[in-house]
Amino acid sequence: MLIVEYGDRKFIDSEPPLVYLLQIIWDALFVRYASGVPKDEENGWIPLKVSLATVTSDLQQYFGFVSTGARSPEVPRPSFVRKALDALVDFKIAERTKDEYFIKYKRTRADTLKGFGRLLFNLTNKKAKAEAAKPPRLPGI
C-alpha cells in the first residue's frame, strides 16, 4: 500500500548518509540533466550548470517529499543537498559560485556508491591529518 501511495521514494525525514545522497544525485538526477548536453571532448566530461534550488526541488519531487504545508517537512532538506554538492566541490569535480554549481559530469560503469565512499574517506583522512599537523593552541590565546 505504501508503494502505491508514495511511489519509490529514496529518502525519509532524517539526513541520509552523504555517499547515498551523492549516488542518487549522480546516477539518477545528473544523468537526466546531461541528456542532450554535448560532451566536452577535450576533457571527457559533460558540463552541467545546476542550482541548489533546482537540484533540491527535483530530488524532492522524484525521490522524496515536497512540503504540503507548515507541518509538512520537505525531504531532502536544502541543507542536505548543499552538503552533497559542496562535497563534489571538495572532490574537485565541481565548482561553486553562491548557489550555482558547475559540475564536471562523467558517466561511469563503476559502482558510484563505492567511488564516492572512497573519495569521502580519503578527504576525511586528509582533513584529519592536516588538523593533527597544526600546532596546539593554548587556551585563551
Q: Which CATH class is domain 16-107?
A: mainly alpha
pTM > 0.75: yes or no: yes
In tens digits, what is the pLDDT along the chain, a chain of 141 residues? 444 455 667 777 778 899 999 999 999 999 999 998 999 889 989 999 999 999 999 998 888 777 666 776 777 888 999 999 999 999 999 999 987 999 999 988 889 999 999 999 999 998 888 888 888 777 766
Give the per-residue SS3 of the chain: CHHHHHCCCCCCCCCCCHHHHHHHHHHHHHHHHHCCCCCECCCCEEEEEEEHHHHHHHHHHHHCECCCECCECCECCHHHHHHHHHHHHHCCCEEEECCEEEEEECCCCCCHHHHHHHHHHHHHHHHHHHHHHCCCCCCCC
Q: Domain segments of the chain: what residues?
A: 16-107
